[in-house]
Each structure stands twice: as structure tokens, then as C-alpha cells.
């Protein structure tokens, strides 16, 4: 049985994103890699590049959302789980994508999106109480200094984790346990690092 065209386009995008980064891949290349003879297939099935990107994100985020909510449930049930455990709920669901079909392409895509010079945010999504990321942000908020919050360290931690996971995916290695543990340590350190007097002074300017 042949692969449905939308699924073939998503798989081709994931593969090319993993190899070269999402910004360097054209719709024509994705169409060709998917084996589609219809030059307008992406437009027809997804409405354009933005729709295809959303389809790639949605394919993976359903699993990430479920896993992170499960981990956050466990974190909240354990009153003294600790700050590092909360950081693990950010890192580990993303890290699981290292071993999924198309996961490396997804990780490269989100790293590219987070590292845009002026990242675009869906303000409605940031207020979505059903989102595991919004839930994680709310739980992290009281554990951070006011300066760390103003400096957007929760965003920085997420961008750092995504970038490091995308880099890791390109290595082709199979055992990620040490890497994931170290990445969780680094995220915890980034979020909780003291704000220097100089940074605090500049923040007031």
C-alpha cells in the first residue's frame, strides 16, 4: 500500500530538515523527495509552507504533550520532588524525539524556530491552560528570581534544550542517557544561576 501524499510530504520534510535545517529546504525539494508529481501538492494539502510546518509540529507534539503532562502530574503529586525534577519535565519529553520516526527533523525545526532573530509567538497558545509547556512555565515561575523571569530565562532554557537536542540528533549516536542527564543539569543551572549586579543594574535602565 502506498503512503498517503500528506504523510509522504511530512516525512520528506522531516528528513530534509534533519539533514540541512528547515530554513535551507525549499518546498520544491520537499515535494521531489516525497515522490509527488504534483508541483502544488504542499499547497493543496497544507495550504503552503506554514501549514506543512504546523503538520510536522502537531505530529510530534501530541506525544510530547502527553508525556510532559504525565511527568508534571508526578511532580505535583510529590511535594518535595526538587527543582531538577521539574527541569526534567521540560527536557525528557523533547529528548524522547531523538528515537522517534522523524524526531530529529522535528527537533531541528523547533531549534530553528526558537533561534530566529525575532521568534514569533502564538499568544493564544501561551495562555492555553491545556498546554504542558504553559503548565511547566507556571510551575517554574515561583522558583525563579524576579530578575530571571524578566530576563525570559524560561524561554532561554527551552531554546537551549531544543538547540542541544537538535545538535545531538545530528551525531547519530544511540545511547543518550548521559547526554540527557547533563542537559537537564544545564537547564537547571541556566534557570537558577544568580543574576549579577551588573546585569541587575542594566535591567533597571
Question: Residue with C-alpha cell 537558577?
Answer: 192
Q: Identify the pLDDT of residue 120.
A: 64
Q: Identify the pLDDT of residue 123.
A: 46
Q: What does the block give as the cell for 119? A: 521568534
Report how far residue 205's alpha carbon sits from residue 201's, in angstroms, rounded to the nearest whole number. Answer: 7
Report how far residue 76's alpha carbon sits from residue 167's, in angstroms, rounded to the nearest whole number. Answer: 31
Q: Which one has a higher pLDDT value, 23 or 122?
A: 23
Q: Identify the pLDDT of residue 80.
A: 84
Report how far residue 82's alpha carbon sits from residue 97's, in angstroms, rounded to the nearest whole number. Answer: 25
pLDDT in tens, 107-150: 999 999 999 987 765 545 556 778 999 999 999 999 999 999 99
Rounded to two decimals, the pTM is 0.92
In angstroms, the first-to-last Cα distance of the chain is: 63
Q: Which one has a higher pLDDT value, 8 or 1?
A: 8
Residue 47 has pLDDT above 80, yes or no: yes
Residue 190 has pLDDT above 60, yes or no: yes
Domain boundaries, the chain: 58-203
Residue 167 has pLDDT above 80, yes or no: yes
Question: Residue with C-alpha cell 516525497?
Answer: 34
Residue 96 has pLDDT above 60, yes or no: yes
Question: Residue with C-alpha cell 543551572?
Answer: 189
Report how far residue 9's alpha carbon sits from residue 49's, in angstroms, rounded to the nearest whole number. Answer: 11
Residue 4 has pLDDT above 60, yes or no: yes
Q: Identify the pLDDT of residue 28.
A: 95
Give the mean model confidence (pLDDT) for residues 77-81.
Answer: 90
CB of 102 closer than 8 Å to CB of 60: yes
Give the mean model confidence (pLDDT) for residues 33-37.
Answer: 92
Q: Identify the pLDDT of residue 79.
A: 85
Give the mean model confidence (pLDDT) for residues 28-57.
Answer: 95
Residue 202 has pLDDT above 80, yes or no: yes
Return the CA Rg of the chain: 19
CB of 75 closer than 8 Å to CB of 81: yes
Q: Identify the pLDDT of residue 125.
A: 54
Amino acid at each position: 500500500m502506498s503512503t498517503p501524499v500528506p504523510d509522504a510530504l511530512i516525512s520528506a520534510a522531516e528528513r530534509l530538515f534533519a539533514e540541512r535545517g528547515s530554513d535551507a529546504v525549499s518546498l520544491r525539494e520537499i515535494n521531489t523527495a516525497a515522490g509527488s508529481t504534483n508541483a502544488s501538492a504542499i499547497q493543496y494539502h497544507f495550504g503552503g509552507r506554514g501549514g506543512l510546518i504546523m503538520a510536522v509540529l502537531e505530529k510530534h507534539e501530541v506525544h510530547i504533550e502527553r508525556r510532559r503532562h504525565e511527568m508534571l502530574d508526578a511532580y505535583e503529586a510529590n511535594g518535595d520532588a526538587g527543582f531538577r525534577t521539574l527541569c526534567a519535565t521540560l527536557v525528557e519529553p523533547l529528548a524522547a524525539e531523538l528515537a522517534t520516526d522523524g524526531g530529529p527533523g522535528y527537533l531541528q525545526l523547533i531549534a530553528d524556530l526558537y533561534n530566529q532573530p525575532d521568534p514569533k509567538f502564538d499568544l493564544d497558545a501561551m495562555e492555553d491552560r491545556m498546554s504542558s509547556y504553559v503548565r511547566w512555565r507556571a510551575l517554574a515561575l515561583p522558583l525563579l528570581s524576579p530578575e530571571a523571569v524578566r530576563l525570559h530565562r524560561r524561554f532561554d532554557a527551552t531554546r537551549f534544550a531544543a538547540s542541544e537536542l537538535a545538535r545531538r540528533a545530528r551525531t547519530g549516536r544511540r545511547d543518550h542517557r548521559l547526554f540527557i542527564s547533563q542537559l537537564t543539569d544545564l537547564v537547571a543551572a541556566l534557570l537558577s544561576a544568580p543574576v549579577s549586579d551588573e546585569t541587575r543594574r542594566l535591567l533597571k535602565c
